[in-house]
Amino acid sequence: MTTTEGPILKVQDGATNLPSMEVEGSKAFIGDAFVNPGGAVICSGFFELFHSEPLIYEYTYDETKYVVEGDFTLTDMATGQVVTAVKGDVLFFPKGTTVKFETSGHAVGFYAGHRTFAP
pLDDT (tens digit, 0 to 9) for every residue of the chain, 119 residues total? Answer: 566 667 888 899 999 999 999 999 999 999 999 998 888 999 999 999 999 999 999 999 999 999 999 999 999 999 999 999 999 999 999 999 999 999 999 999 999 999 987 76
> Nearest-CA neighbor of 61 among 15, 112, 2, 6?
112
How many Å apart are CA 106 and CA 51, to the nearest integer?
6
How is residue 6 annotated by DSSP? S
Answering whether pTM is above 0.75, one says yes
How many Å apart are CA 32 and CA 25, to the nearest integer?
22
> Nearest-CA neighbor of 100 among 83, 113, 117?
83
What's residue 7's pLDDT? 83
What's residue 5's pLDDT? 64
- CA–CA distance from 54 to each of 5, 7, 100 (Å)? 40, 39, 6
What's residue 47's pLDDT? 98
How many Å apart are CA 73 and CA 75, to the nearest integer?
7
| Cβ atoms of 116 and 41 closer than 8 Å | yes
Structural domains of the chain ordered from first start? 2-113 (2.60.120.10)
How many Å apart are CA 31 and CA 44, to the nearest integer?
8
